[in-house]
Structure formats: C-alpha cells, structure tokens
Amino acid sequence: MAIVLGDNRYGKAENRLVRVDRDGDEHRITDLTVSVSLSGDMSDTHLTGANDKVLATDTQKNTVFAFARDGIGEIEDFALRLARHFVSTQESIHAARVGIVAHPWERLQVGGRPAHHSFARSGAGTRTTRVTYDGERAWVLGGVEDLTVLNSTGSEFWGFPRDEYTTLVEVKDRILATAVSATWRFSVDEADWADAHETALATLLDAFGGTHSQSLQQTLYAMGQAVLEAVPEIAEIRFSLPNKHHFLVDLEPFGLDNPGEVFYAADRPYGLIEGTVLRDDAPPAGPAWS
Ligand SMILES: O=c1[nH]c(=O)c2[nH]c(=O)[nH]c2[nH]1
C-alpha cells in the first residue's frame, strides 16, 4: 500500500474589496468578496515542504487589490482577468478559480435628490460569479444568492401521499416564500454580462410572481425554463430554494377567526428544494461546477 497526495487546491478566500469610482463629485461603489483558488504542480509543498512553486496566498490577495486599481467592470470580466493572470504567469499553476460575490449598495436620497456619495446597503440579493480557467478555456458561472421573495397567494400544495406520519393539511391557498440561490452556467466566455444578469434576474422574478404554483418544485422549474428561454448564452441553471414556511396561526382559542391574515413565519426546519434546469443540448460543463 502506498499513500499518495490527492486532489488539492489553495488560495486566498473572501478578500473584501471596495472600490470607489469617482466621476467628479458623483461616486459609485463596488463592494466585492473575491475568493481565489489555484491548483497545479503542488506536490513538492505537500511532500517535501519546498515552496518554490507556491504563489503565496498573500500575493494572490495583493493581486486582487492591484487589479482593482485599473477598474473592476463587470464581475465576470474581473474574475476572468484574474484567473487568466494566475495561470498565464505561473508555470506551476494549471488552473485557477475565482469566485466573486457582489454586495449591492443603493444611492440615498438626500435633500430630495440622489446623493453624490451616500449609500445604503440594499437587501435584494447578491450577484455572484465563478470563473474557472485551465490555461486553454474559461468556464463562467453567474447567479444570485439570498434573493428573498414571497407570494402572498397563488400557491397551493395538495395531492401528496399520506402515510401514518403525515399530518400536513392540504392547502389551496398559502404563502410561498423562499430565498433564491440560483447559479447559471454560460456556454460562452464572452458576453454582455450586465445585460445577461439583468435579463436573467428580471425573468426569474417575473416567473416567480407569475406562476400559479402547486409546489415550490414547480416554481423552480418555471423560473429555470423562463431564464433559459430569455438568455440564449445560459446553458444550465441550478437552484437551491429553502421553503420559508408560513403557518396560519390558530386564533380560535382567543375567539377569533383567521381568514388567511395572521401567520407564524417559521425559521427552521425548512424544506430545501434543489434542482437543475438545462438545455438538452447543453455543452459539457467541464470543471465549471466542481
Ligand atoms: O412546495 C412544497 N414542496 C414540498 O415538497 C413540500 N413538502 C411540504 O411539507 N411542503 C411542501 N411544499
């Protein structure tokens, strides 16, 4: 029996980067969490401790900030620039993965006018990307995280099997709420990323609101189908949807009725609905997800 080194990677995770773009007095904020992960010829450092092939994670962190000096642009482009840099400048690095979460800020209204330099963190989900580059080609993922949405009607859940443990009451009208995490895989490594993101997000929200739902699973598929129909560059979309249960409170002990007005918003446990929607001719995903 021999013991060998298996799959490995390393990098600087969660670099918190804020850039201020100054157009005269008018500022714009880009607030990112950037994670770098590199892999390649890393046997020596694990087996003998020789570090001559190890681009320090501290250097990786510095690179992220130095690259931001030239402007960030769309997060997919920034991730592509960084990933290509690490692989093309370091012989020992064979693949790079750069993941970015963009934290949204909204311009404040000050004195009844849009402020030049004052912002509030907005809660409407975060935009994400993950780029993998292997020296020859790049795989680009985009997406959103923590996009909390709710339909106060238009949702049913009934017709499920009943066994000796089933207590859930069938409902023809309930609240449907979730925090959408969606990651989509582009079939291209060059696109109008801003437009693709905006269209995917608007389409997803439209499908959430516009689907009369028999289950969160059905809503998941409807959202995925709509995004794929709207954005030709997206080949596949993966969802993770916590079912944020809202239970109608029994007010009868207090002599009150409750015609779908007062709910207990349960925190946990929650149903977790996950699924992938893709084109049947989607190109192979390669290392995009791994
Ligand atoms: O939309 C739903 N899907 C389920 O699978 C499920 N299971 C459950 O208890 N409630 C719900 N709701």
Could you give the count of Cα atoms lying within 13 Å of 85 in the half-sphere of its Cβ? Answer: 17
* Ligand 1 center–CA 216 separation, angstroms: 7
Q: What pTM did the predictor assign?
A: 0.96
- Please tell me whether residues 18 and 129 are part of one structural domain: yes
Whether ligand 1 lies within 6 angstroms of the CB of 157 is answered as: yes
Looking at the domain assignment, is residue 3 inside a domain?
Answer: no
pLDDT by residue (tens digit) across 208-242? 999 999 999 999 999 999 999 999 999 999 999 99
Residue length of the chain: 290
Mean pLDDT value of segment 259-273 = 97
Peptide bond just before 269 cis, omega within 30 deg: yes
Range of the structural domain that residue 99 is part of: 9-136
276 shares a domain with 254: yes
Average pLDDT over residues 41-52: 98
Q: Does a structural domain hold residue 267?
A: yes
Q: Is residue 1 part of a domain?
A: no
Q: What angle do CA 163, 168, 170 make, to 5 degrees?
A: 105
User: Tell me, what's the pLDDT at 160?
Assistant: 98
- Whole-angstrom distance, CA of residue 42 vs CA of residue 48: 10
How far apart, in whole angstroms, are the C-alpha atoms of residue 60 and residue 38?
10
185 and 254, same domain (yes or no): yes
- pLDDT of the residue at 101: 98
The pLDDT-based confidence of 277 (bands split at 50, 70, 90) is: very high
C-alpha 157 – ligand 1 centre gap (Å): 7
Which CATH number goes with the domain that contains 217? Answer: 3.10.270.10
Lowest mean pLDDT segment, chosen from 29-38, 120-129, 184-193: 120-129
Residue nearest to atom 8 of ligand 1 (CA): 271
- Inside any domain, residue 124: yes
Please compute the mean of the pLDDT values over residues 117-121 and round it to a whole number.
97
Does residue 86 register a pLDDT over 90?
yes
Averaged over 77-92, what is the pLDDT?
Answer: 98
Look at residues 106, 136, 166 and tell me which one is the last residue of a structural domain. 136
Ligand 1 closest atom vs CA 218: 1
Shared domain for 165 and 281, answered yes or no, is yes
Q: How far is CA 117 from the centre of its chain?
A: 27
- Domain assignment present for residue 50? The answer is yes
The CB of 271 under 6 Å from ligand 1? The reply is: yes
Mean pLDDT of the chain: 97
User: Does ligand 1 lie within 6 Å of residue 168's CB atom?
Assistant: yes
Last residue of some domain: 82, 109, 136?
136
Tell me which residues are annotated as active site.
12, 57, 245
3-state helix, strand, coil in the chain (%, to 5): 25, 40, 40
215: Cβ below 6 Å to ligand 1? yes
In a domain, 4, yes or no: no
pLDDT for res 114:
96
- What is the predicted ipTM? 0.99
Q: Which residues contact 26 (CB under 8 A, 6 or more apart)?
A: 116, 117
Supply the pLDDT for residue 183: 98
Does the pLDDT of residue 123 top 90, yes or no?
A: no
Q: Residue 124 has what pLDDT?
A: 82
The count of domains in the chain is 2
Q: Are residues 123 and 179 in the same domain?
A: no
Spatial contact of 106 and 119, defined as CB atoms under 8 Å apart: yes
Amino acid in the structure at residue 71: G
Domain boundary among 136, 152, 177: 136
Pairwise CA distance, residues 248 & 174, whole Å: 9
On whether both 160 and 240 belong to a single domain, the answer is yes
253 and 125 within one domain? no
Q: Note whether 42 and 165 are same-domain residues.
A: no
